[in-house]
A = this chain, B = another copy of it.
Amino acid sequence: MRQKLFVAALMLALVSSSATALHRGERSRPQSATKTLVERLGYPRDAKLLIVHADDLGVAHSVNSAAIKAFESGLVSSGSIMVPCPWLPEIAVYARAHPDADLGLHLTLTSEWSPYRWGPVLSKERVPSLLDTSGYLYSSESEAAAHVDLKEVEAEIRAQIARARALGIQPTHLDSHMGTLYQSKALFEILVRVARENKLPFRVSRDWFSRAQFMPSLLGPDDLVLDKTISIEPNVAPVDWARFYTDEIKNLPPGVTDMIVHLAFADEEMKGVTSGHPDWGAEWRQRDFNFVTSDAFRKLLRENNVKLITWREIGKLIGKT
């Protein structure tokens, strides 16, 4: 989830101001007319609910291994899978063996690491607009957004969902790798439509609306909207990693927050994959892994009355008022 400039831009507006986020959450709160998402999930209105979410499963063995280890720690509650990636079969084995694991699909329209790449699930003739000149998916979400044909996007993400199911993955939610499907109203509309048809919740957060004003116009009362997203960005120095997350948790407002992390080991494979790209690189992902599997994080959650939840719980609200 490199170069997710759009999401990064959204985040930067919010990172340092949880009070603002709280205020915004209070103002625009109830998606059903009377209850907040927290209340619909059966918690008191002031509960602080957190999804700790590992993105990018399937991209590399290092990512799969770190995510599985993090799930076992009990401190990472959810993750999402990149269906077009070569290590999909490995994470599919895990999904089949752990049917209660909270695994969604990280719908993928980009292939961002230069030495190691992948193409779409559908054949290249079916989705030519999704490919760069070398025949892989585009390297960045902005290139993808600028070139893709919307019908081909919809066909490809439907194919990714079908392929996951064929491999025994029963996704609990949908989101978008590098935020490509959040790049425009037309792309977001596809995500919303496909998610609704599949009766799956999808990642969308109220704290994005001020920077993506098309979002609320596409959402209805039955769509489930998170209150806040936490995602560390390149403006945080490596030495400040734990401090960033600690501050976020200490200042977490009531509501449902998705804390998006990128887990891997800083091993040779991951250094190779992310070669020359420290942002969302091997060391970055090792730092994320170290923090979210630490006793310090466990203690922090406990001391701040933060409860971990999953997308599966959110998905159960679909179809209920």
Min C-beta distance of A62 to chain B, whole Å: 7
Min C-beta distance of A54 to chain B, whole Å: 17
Min C-beta distance of A282 to chain B, whole Å: 11
Q: Is A222 an interface residue (CB 8 A)?
A: no
With contacts A267-B267, A267-B269, A269-B268 taken as known, whether A115 is within 8 angstroms of B89 at the C-beta atoms is yes
Which B-chain residue is minimally distant from A90 (CB atoms)? B115
Q: Is A40 an interface residue (CB 8 A)?
A: no
B269 A167 Cβ-Cβ under 8 A: no
In Å, the complex CA distance between A134 and B164 comes to 11
With contacts A89-B114, A134-B167 taken as known, whether A61 is within 8 angstroms of B273 at the C-beta atoms is yes
With contacts A86-B86, A134-B167 taken as known, whether A272 is within 8 angstroms of B61 at the C-beta atoms is yes
Task: Please pick, from B93, B126, B134, B269, the residue contacting A61 in the complex, using a CB distance under 8 A.
Answer: B269
Main secondary structure of the interface of A (DSSP, over half): loop
Q: Is A163 an interface residue (CB 8 A)?
A: yes
Q: Is A116 an interface residue (CB 8 A)?
A: yes
Q: Is A117 an interface residue (CB 8 A)?
A: yes
Min C-beta distance of A155 to chain B, whole Å: 13
Which B-chain residue is minimally distant from A269 (CB atoms)? B269
B117 A89 Cβ-Cβ under 8 A: yes
Q: Is A125 an interface residue (CB 8 A)?
A: yes
Task: Please pick, from B64, B86, B117, the residue contacting A117 in the complex, using a CB distance under 8 A.
Answer: B86
A87 B61 Cβ-Cβ under 8 A: no
Given contacts A61-B116, A86-B118, A90-B272, 5 further A-B contacts (CB under 8 A): A62-B268, A86-B86, A90-B115, A125-B125, A135-B163
In Å, the complex CA distance between A268 and B68 comes to 15
Q: Which A54-102 residues have a C-beta within 8 angstroms of B?
A: 60-62, 64-65, 86-90, 93
In Å, the complex CA distance between A293 and B273 comes to 25
Find the residue from A64, A116, A134, A167 having the highest chain B CB count within 10 A: A116
Give A221-235 as 1s and 0s: 1 = Cβ < 8 Å from B's Cβ atoms.
000000000000000
With contacts A86-B118, A115-B93 taken as known, whether A65 is within 8 angstroms of B272 at the C-beta atoms is yes
In Å, the complex CA distance between A221 and B269 comes to 46
Q: Is A138 an interface residue (CB 8 A)?
A: no
Q: Is A321 an interface residue (CB 8 A)?
A: no
Q: Is A265 an interface residue (CB 8 A)?
A: yes
Task: Please pick, from B62, B93, B135, the residue contacting A269 in the complex, using a CB distance under 8 A.
Answer: B62
Give A172-193 as 1s and 0s: 1 = Cβ < 8 Å from B's Cβ atoms.
0000000000000000000000
Which B-chain residue is minimally distant from A133 (CB atoms)? B166
Q: Is A28 an interface residue (CB 8 A)?
A: no
Which B-chain residue is minimally distant from A117 (CB atoms)? B89
Q: Is A124 an interface residue (CB 8 A)?
A: yes
Min C-beta distance of A275 to chain B, whole Å: 8
A selection of 28 A-B contacts at a CB cut-off of 8 Å is A61-B116, A61-B269, A61-B273, A62-B269, A64-B272, A65-B268, A86-B86, A86-B116, A86-B117, A87-B116, A87-B272, A88-B117, A89-B115, A89-B117, A90-B115, A90-B272, A123-B126, A125-B125, A125-B126, A134-B167, A135-B163, A265-B268, A267-B267, A267-B268, A267-B269, A268-B268, A268-B269, A269-B269
